[in-house]
Amino acid sequence: MKIISFVTGLGVGAAVAMLLTPRSGEDMREMLSEGAENGRRYAKRRARELGTLANEVAERGREAADNQKHAIAAAAQAAKDTYNRETKPSGPQPIAS
């Protein structure tokens, strides 16, 4: 959000500076066109960078979830094995009289 605010402020400041500087109409249109093109290129580059970053973060999240899934499955199996071992009768049971 801070980056968006910064870029917006930068654009507004540049536009005000251009409008208040005495120039011919043709010069002003050229400056505005160049500024718009530079802004468009910057926005596309940042969008690509942010898309790449989002993909990397999503992949790390998937890996972490997969690791947790395997750890939980292993813990559940260990608990099941322990339960079965502890509840299984050991040796012959005495006959009650």
What residue numbers bound the domain in which 22 lies?
1-59
- The pTM for the full model equals 0.49
pLDDT, one tens digit per residue, over 54-75 is 999 999 999 999 999 999 999 9
Position 2 in a domain:
yes
Q: Are 42 and 14 in contact (CB under 8 A)?
A: no
How many domains, in total, are found in the chain? 1
Position 9 in a domain:
yes
Percent of the chain with pLDDT over 90: 42
Helices and strands, number each (H, E), in the chain: 2, 0
Position 30 in a domain:
yes
Position 70 in a domain:
no
* 93 compared with 72, residue with greater pLDDT: 72
Handedness of CA 32, 33, 38, 41 (dihedral sign): positive
Mean pLDDT along residues 20-41: 81
Position 81 in a domain:
no
Position 35 in a domain:
yes
Position 64 in a domain:
no
